[in-house]
Structure formats: C-alpha cells, structure tokens
Amino acid sequence: MRIMPNRMDRGFYKYQKEFEDKALKVLRSGWYVLGEEVDCFEKEFASFVGTDYCVGLASGLDALWIAFRVLGIGTGDEVIVQGNTYIASVMGITINGATPVFVEPDEYNNIDVLEIEKKITGRTKAILAVHLYGQASNMEPIVEIAKKYNLKLVEDCAQSHGACFREKMTGSFGDIGCFSFYPSKNMGAFGDGGAIVTNDENLAQQVRIFRNYGSEKRYYNKVVGTNSRLDELQAGLLRVRLKHLEELNQEREKICGIYIKQIENEALELPKVREGATTVWHQFVIHSKRREELIKYLNEKEIGTIIHYPIPPHLSEAYGYLGLGKGSLPITEKYADEVLSIPLYNGMTAEEQEYVIEKINRF
C-alpha cells in the first residue's frame, strides 16, 4: 500500500457536490472580487472564532505582515516569537523592518512561556503566539505577560482553525489573530487565502482599507496599501469548508487518538496535549533521535512523511543577517533534527492507518 503524507483530494471529494455547486454559482455570478461571498464569509468566520470582525486577505503571510503594519510595529521594534515556527511567522515580522527575537519551545512544541520575560527589552513591542501543529499555545501566561509589559499580542493561527485554550478559540486572545487558508491547512481553500480577526473596529477598518490599495472609497486613497483581497471563489468555497470544520477536526481527532493508542515504539516520542489546551491536529508530529533511519525505513514501505521544519528560521540563509549561528537556540535546533510528521488527512481510511501503525511499530 502506498500512503502519502497528505491527501487534499480526499477533502474535496468528501463534499464534492457542495464545492462544485458553490464554484459554479460564483463563476456564473459575474462578480469575482470582494462581494457577497467575502462579506458572508467574514461574518461567519468572525462568529466562529468569537471575534467582532474578520477581514479576508490573500494569504496567511499577508495577514501576519498587515497585522504588524496596522499595529504600527516596524523598524527598531522587536517581536517575540518561538524559534521552531514556519518561516512565514518570522517574515510577517521582518517585512515591516522589525526584528524577531526567538524563544525556545516547550515540550508541546509551542513557545516556552517561562523563557519569554528573559527576552523582553525596551524595544519589545509585541508577542507573536504561534499555535503550532494545531495545538493552542499556553495562552493564560502569554496574555498576562503581554499585559504586564504593555505589549501587543498577535496570534498565528495558520495551523489552528478551531483549537481552544480553556474553551476560548485561538485567534480571539490577542489584538489580532491571523489565519491562512492555504489548501493543506485544516480549513483549506482551493488556492491561496487568509484573514485577520479582531475585536477592534479601528484595526479591522485599517486592514480593510489597506488590503485594497489603501482606499475605502474607490479611487480615493488614504494610505499606501497593497492588493491582498480574498476572492469570491475562495470565499465561497471556504464557507462550505467552514460549515464542516468541526466535523473535519473531529475526524482528525479520531485518527490521532488511534495513533496515540496504538503506536508503540521506543524509538520515538508521541505528541502530547497540554492540560487546558486543545489541538485540531494540523500535523501528527513525533520526535525521534533516529529520524533519518525512520524516514528511510518508512519510504521503503511506501509511507511518505514530511519534516515540519528541517531548518529553523534563525539558521536559514534568509536570516543570516540576524547573526544567530548554530547553537544559539539548542532546543529549537534539536527539534528540527527530531521532528517528523506522519500521514494524516481527512478521509484517511482505517486500512491506511493500520498499515502505517503496523510499519511504525515494527521499526
């Protein structure tokens, strides 16, 4: 049996008729950018997250950098972020000229809250909390620290659609929550898409203007903005996905529950979920000191895996200018050498999963 790490086609076929009907409706409507579908999607998604406003954008990266832009964070400012995140989190900070200050992760692969205060300086302006692999970060202390030092709080929810910390949805804790709808995310579009959510009417309005060349009224430009609009087709298809999101996340929960119960091998460590937090299992990430061997073995059994992520941002060529060499974030670097995402997707069959479990247990 051949098993791929992800199968986005399965997510489509599960609701094929609904997706196709919606796509045809938008194509036939004659209106393709910023219209009724985007308006409805923004209302529905804000209500899902539990915030007052949502503004649809063209990608998750746009959501991040535009969030920092409207919060007034740029050159000379520092933003605290975990070292083991996807590089887009960091680019959202540096596109604006601000400096990322990396904090090591805890055993749940999210920012170690005990390390945050040590990294706060007079230039610190914000914390970017990433809910990595779908699990909510330890939000109670993060919110407290942000308050204590008067810092802005931004959340990177690109992997955490629907995940909660003490019953409160990720994206609703900070000044702004940033989402990606890249096809492989839990709530994926059929192309690129993103959004910010917020309770601040003024921030929402600023993002709304910024995404459309800085204009509120056509041809009257208030600020130098950008073009980052969620299109009608993606918004319409996302409304379909949103309707089924709870069900999709429950299916992932079921699959991962079986992984946790049935994978038994001393060569690897299974993921843990923090008390008070939930995960929507964007990835099922194991840690293994024998990772390269395990990848090779699974490949031979035709089981695909992915490393999220092999090179931490501070060691990437792009951030060489920060001057943080190897050894500067030992836990982050250790994780980069040990993490491995095993196959997980909506529509994964019991047969497929049994095959993966059997092979891993025999490693």
Ligand X SMILES: *Cc1c(COP(=O)(O)O)cnc(C)c1O
Bridge partners for 164 per DSSP: 169
Give the separation between CA 34 and CA 50, rounded to whole angstroms. Answer: 23
> Would you count residue 155 as binding ligand X (CB under 6 A)?
no
Please select the residue that binds ligand X; options are 15, 41, 86, 210, rule is CB under 6 A. Answer: 86
Please select the residue that binds ligand X; options are 180, 186, 206, 305, rule is CB under 6 A. Answer: 180
Please select the residue that binds ligand X; options are 101, 130, 303, 315, rule is CB under 6 A. Answer: 130
Of 213 and 309, nearer to ligand X (C-beta) is: 309
Please select the residue that binds ligand X; options are 61, 70, 195, 360, rule is CB under 6 A. Answer: 61
DSSP-assigned letter for residue 185 = S
Q: What is the DSSP string of 93-162?
A: HHTTT-EEEEE-B-TTSSB-GGGTGGG--TTEEEEEEE-GGGBPP-HHHHHHHHHHTT-EEEEE-TT-TT
> Would you count residue 110 as binding ligand X (CB under 6 A)?
no
- Applying CB under 6 A, the span of 86-94, 113-121, 272-280, 332-340 interacting with ligand X comes to 86-94
Joined tokens for residue 271 = 């993921």
> Would you count residue 195 as binding ligand X (CB under 6 A)?
no
Question: Crossing angle of helices 232-243/245-262, nearest 10°?
Answer: 60
Residue with tokens 């035709």: 302
Which residue's C-beta sits nearest to ligand X? Answer: 60
> Would you count residue 85 as binding ligand X (CB under 6 A)?
yes
Closest approach, Cβ 32 to ligand X, in A, equals 20
> Would you count residue 100 as binding ligand X (CB under 6 A)?
no
Give the separation between CA 306 and CA 61, rounded to whole angstroms. Answer: 21
> Would you count residue 59 as binding ligand X (CB under 6 A)?
yes
Kindly report the length of the chain: 363
Please select the residue that binds ligand X; options are 42, 77, 104, 156, rule is CB under 6 A. Answer: 156
Binding residues for ligand X (CB under 6 A): 59-61, 85-86, 88-89, 130, 156, 158-159, 180, 182, 192, 194
